[in-house]
Amino acid sequence: MFLSFKFFLMAKFPKNFLWGAAASAHQVEGGNFNDWTEWEKKNAQRLAKKAKRYWQLWQQEKFPEMFEPENYISGRTCDHYHYYQKDFDIAKSLNHNAHRLSIEWSRVEPKKGRINQQEIEHYRQVILALKQRGLEPFVTLYHWSLPVWLAEKGGWLSLKTPHYFDRYVRIVSENLFDLVDYWITINEPNVYSAKCFLKGAWPPQKKSIFKYFRVLNNLVRAHQLAYHSLHSIDLDCRVGLAKNNINFINNFLADYFWNKYFLNRIRQKQDFIGLNYYFCSGWPKKKGLSVSDLGWQIYPEGIYHLLKDLKKYNRPIYITENGLADGRDSKRAKFIRNHLFWVQRAIKEGIDVRGYFYWSLLDNFEWDKGFWPRFGLVEIDYRTMERRIRPSAEIYAQICRENKL
Ligand code: FCB
């Protein structure tokens, strides 16, 4: 009797734990005009052709749309710009009490120094809609898409961009600080710089190790400036970034450069750490792991090791992304449960984890993969914009409601 009561207590998450899902503006809003939209139009044909070479063997029957150039153009995506009220109704009905979203810089500052007050008002309404439904907003200021004018000036390669970013951050925060307590300055600086400047796969596709480090360091600078600006406008707000970490097995060098380099540089300038976790990597390959539709190896225990590693920074941690592409919804519920099991284990061992955001609330535009990967708790029919709640979303909803596994 005593034991089972103790077990019951142990399965609970801490009081006030935040439960929700994450999204980014470019991936869900629709109707954007930024460096990505321009790049998509020029590259859709090429990406469709590349998919034929790369994915043909194992995914073609499931996702024939991956061979269509339209798959690679964000266009209307889920039209969340107009459907946000409905989408937040769904999140609330699924017992979420928090939501991570991003602000699209190109909407707020479509031309250099020209602020679109209407778009700022739009974001006020979006954040108010969250608060009215009891969802705590986590607001990302930069999730990978740049205004075209800034991309033309060299984007993150330019030493001036951290200052442009800081100016934009001040404007946003002066207008929204009364509604927002949690700011995420930058999403996954390491993924962004590696994909754009090491792999040369994302815009502006400039492959060079020197450029990679220049961009990474400019992002460090941008975060530091924004950290001070946000606190100068609202002393009590909490500022962090969303950091993608990979559970590297037997690879200390990769672990240092990928997981620690950026966090070490901003050590004193973060009030919390946002952890984005998707997969493990390394040699020898872990045997018997299942994979998502994107081929990412599912390794729930990895999140535990990464959380333990973050302890040294001595900051509260939020899991700001964790999820998988699973068009058939056959693995998602187990994926969430198993990751949460390991999160809970880390909490029991003293790691201060305060929230979990599944990626993503809705199916959405997955960058250079386009629409075929299905990450959503909610399925989108892109022709009709109909939203359908997946069975796994209900299972996650129960965890959110009971605050336990
Ligand atoms: C993360 C990104 C997010 C989404 C997921 C699948 O690396 O932050 O925008 O694309 O991967």
Q: How far apart are CA 126 and CA 155, in angstroms?
A: 27
Q: What is the pLDDT of residues 172-198, one digit of tens each?
A: 999 999 999 999 999 999 999 999 999
Ligand 1 contact via 191 beta carbon (within 6 Å): yes
**Ligand 1 centroid vs 3 CA: distance in angstroms?**
41
Mean pLDDT of 149-154: 98
pLDDT at 11 over 50: yes
Ligand 1 contact via 321 beta carbon (within 6 Å): yes
Residue to substitute in 26, 244, 321 for testing ligand 1 pocket (most ligand atoms within 8 angstroms of CB): 321
- To the nearest whole percent, how much of the chain has pLDDT over 70? 96
3-state helix, strand, coil in the chain (%, to 5): 50, 20, 35
Q: What is the pLDDT of residues 199-258, one digit of tens each?
A: 999 999 999 999 999 999 999 999 999 999 999 999 999 999 999 999 999 999 999 999
**Ligand 1 centroid vs 7 CA: distance in angstroms?**
35
Ligand 1 contact via 365 beta carbon (within 6 Å): no
Q: How far apart are CA 211 and CA 190, in angstroms?
A: 13
The pLDDT confidence band at residue 53, using thresholds 50, 70 and 90, is: confident
Q: How far is CA 242 from CA 119, 138, 284, 333, in A?
A: 24, 11, 28, 24
Extract the runs of DSSP E, i.e. beta strands, from 220-298: 238-249, 273-282
Q: How far apart are CA 89 and CA 209, in angstroms?
A: 45
Q: Which atom of ligand 1 is nearest to the CA of 191?
A: 7
Write down the pTM of the prediction: 0.96
Kindly tell me the burial class for residue 89, based on how many C-beta atoms sit within 10 Å of its own C-beta (0-12, 13-18, 19 or more). Answer: middle
Rounded to the nearest 10 degrees, what angle do helices 2-11 and 332-348 cross at? 110
- Residues in Cβ contact with 2 at an 8 Å cutoff, skipping those fewer than 6 apart: none
Query: What is Dmax (Cα atoms) for the chain?
Result: 67
Mean pLDDT of 366-370: 97
Mean pLDDT of 99-103: 99
Residue to substitute in 104, 296, 359 for testing ligand 1 pocket (most ligand atoms within 8 angstroms of CB): 359
**How many Å from the N-terminal Cα to the C-terminal Cα in the chain?**
20
Q: Identify the pLDDT of residue 58.
A: 63
**Ligand 1 centroid vs 2 CA: distance in angstroms?**
43
Residues of 4-30 as b/e, b for ≥16 C-beta within 10 angstroms?
Answer: eeeeeeeeebeeebbbbbbbbbbbbbb
Ligand 1 contact via 293 beta carbon (within 6 Å): no
**Ligand 1 centroid vs 103 CA: distance in angstroms?**
15
Closest CA to 319 of 338, 292, 290, 339: 339
pLDDT at 1 over 70: no
Cβ pair 206, 153 in contact under 8 A = no
Q: Identify the pLDDT of residue 227.
A: 98
Q: What angle do CA 363, 369, 374 make, to 5 degrees?
A: 25
Residue nearest (by alpha carbon) to ligand 1 atom 9: 24
Q: Which atom of ligand 1 is nearest to the CA of 323?
A: 6
Count how many Cα atoms sit within 13 Å of the Cα of residue 137 in the half-sphere of its side chain: 27
Q: Which atom of ligand 1 is nearest to the CA of 375?
A: 6
Kindly tell me the burial class for residue 298, based on how many C-beta atoms sit within 10 Å of its own C-beta (0-12, 13-18, 19 or more). Answer: buried
Q: How far is CA 293 from CA 278, 324, 374, in A?
A: 13, 8, 8
Closest CA to 274 of 307, 320, 226: 320
Judged by average pLDDT, the poorest of 2-6, 252-256, 376-380 is: 2-6
Q: Is 146 helix (H, G, I), strand (E, B) or coil?
A: coil
**Ligand 1 centroid vs 108 CA: distance in angstroms?**
22
Mean pLDDT of 335-339: 98
Ligand 1 contact via 102 beta carbon (within 6 Å): no
pLDDT at 6 over 70: no
- To the nearest whole percent, how much of the chain has pLDDT over 90? 91
pLDDT averaged over every residue in the chain: 95
